[in-house]
Structure 1
Amino acid sequence: MNIHSVKCAALATALACMAHVAQADELLPLPPAKQSGDVTYTSGGIPDEQLPAVKQARASYPLVIELFQKNGAKNQYTADVQVRLIDAKGQVVLDDKSEGPFFLVKPAPGTYRVEATFNGRTLEQRGVNVGASGSKRVVFVFPPS
């Protein structure tokens, strides 16, 4: 075996290892789903390697809440946001802190108010209609700290 063959073999091995690590990162799952009464939900998207799992799971959740904070001219993902889902009767059906910028929720079909609190600031979206099929997207963008 000449030196060129050894270098090629070493390079091929290194690339194979890197591809394996990259593939493992892409498959990083979301945190396990939680339950609040009849509402199933999960939250994640941090680290970035969870994003493929979030994108795949979105289709299974009729309500997708995205959480950002303004950073100059950009909106950046944020976490540790207190999220509350209130039904048409005024009952809080979900109240938990996000583990990432995406909060995926399976509530009963109906109309809800969604509240998100971050750094003492509460934003709200009223009249969020969640159907039995499809997906409703709610986006909150918090001001800079």
Structure 2
Amino acid sequence: MNVAFFLLPKENVITLKPNNTMRQALERMERHGYTAVPLVDDGGKYAGTITEGDLLWKMKNSPDLRFGDTHRIFLHEVPKRRNVDPVRIDAVMDDLIKLAKTQNFVPVIDDMDVFIGIIRRSDIIEYCYGKMTPKAVFANSDKFDGIG
């Protein structure tokens, strides 16, 4: 199955730019209830993902940084504690599942590394559950006689 089936297009995804500030990221995350947001540069290319944890660690490791000063710190200055790897639009399901095990969403890029959207882990789980459930219910049914 092609991963495009699961794609939430970039028009429907909240993103930030590397030159946005920590304060803008915190406000956007709070407003939308997200813990991570993809970064997209001015050329539309995927530039990583910023997480709440990245922002918290930046605050912890910058003793002089106060919340009121977060408008002065750009996201490209915030170290990322882990890479949130993207997949290409022509990736296969196995590639997607490997990344979704450790990421809430998987960014999707085209052949030019341009960000085209995300695939949410919850959508992948829901799809897989739907594929497994009918077989599991049927196989465990008391009425299953092995014929069919």
> TM-score range with shorter-chain normalisation?
under 0.3
Name the structure, 1 or 2, with higher relative contact order (CA <8 Å, separation 6+): 2
Report the structure, 1 or 2, having the larger strand content: 1
Q: Please report the TM-score for the alignment, with normalisation by the length of structure 1.
A: 0.23
What TM-score results when the alignment is normalised by the length of structure 2? 0.23
